[in-house]
Amino acid sequence: MTDDTLQLSPEIRSLMGVYALYWMLDDAVERMDQAPRIGRLESRILIRLDRPRRMGALAQLLLTGPPSVTAAADRLEEMGLVQRLPDPDDRRALLLHLTDRGRTVRSQLDEEARRLFRQVSGLSTDEIAQFAALCEKIHDTSTGNGAPLGCPDPKGDRE
């Protein structure tokens, strides 16, 4: 931080750091060489599919509307990265599963995202663990008070 920012409150300096990190990572992700080309929401869905999930649960986890998740899942299905299969616990419901190809792409996305985060943040392994714990606390606290306007309520099914 510069001498100018040291005069700011810790809260404002934190916000400035989070914004800078977000924009740098957003720019780096946009420049990632992906085959197939996958959009932001599709990438976020793949990362969250560490196990099969219902579409509504994905929407809540991603703080986005179910129609957006359904449209993104349709695109991922067309690419052969996911498939919808019946939920064994509720035959009326469908679960979104990764295909073998989807698992490969998810693994590549995960590896590249971790590399980009380390590069852009400049944090050590220990600092990343501390930052992750703080971010999880912030996420849980902020979404525990309800989702941002226009997003589904995250207090529902958190699969």
Structural domain of 26: 9-143
Q: Please, are residues 6 and 17 in contact by the beta-carbon 8 Å criterion?
A: no
Average pLDDT of the residues in 50-69 = 93
156 located within any domain: no
pLDDT of residue 7: 86
pLDDT in tens, 93-152: 999 999 999 999 999 999 988 999 999 999 999 999 999 999 999 888 887 766 555 555
Q: Please, are residues 155 and 140 in contact by the beta-carbon 8 Å criterion?
A: no
Q: Please, are residues 53 and 95 in contact by the beta-carbon 8 Å criterion?
A: yes
60 located within any domain: yes
DSSP summary character for residue 82: E
* Domain CATH number, residue 87: 1.10.10.10
For residue 59, the tally of other CB atoms under 10 A from its CB is 24
Extract the runs of DSSP E, i.e. beta strands, from 2-156.
Answer: 82-87, 90-98
Overall number of domains in the chain: 1
39 located within any domain: yes
Position 1 pLDDT exceeds 60? no
37 located within any domain: yes
3-state secondary structure of 53: strand
Backbone dihedral angles phi then psi of residue 19, each to the nearest 5 degrees: -60, -45
150 located within any domain: no
128 located within any domain: yes
36 located within any domain: yes
Residue 26 pLDDT class (50, 70, 90 cuts): confident
pLDDT of residue 156: 47
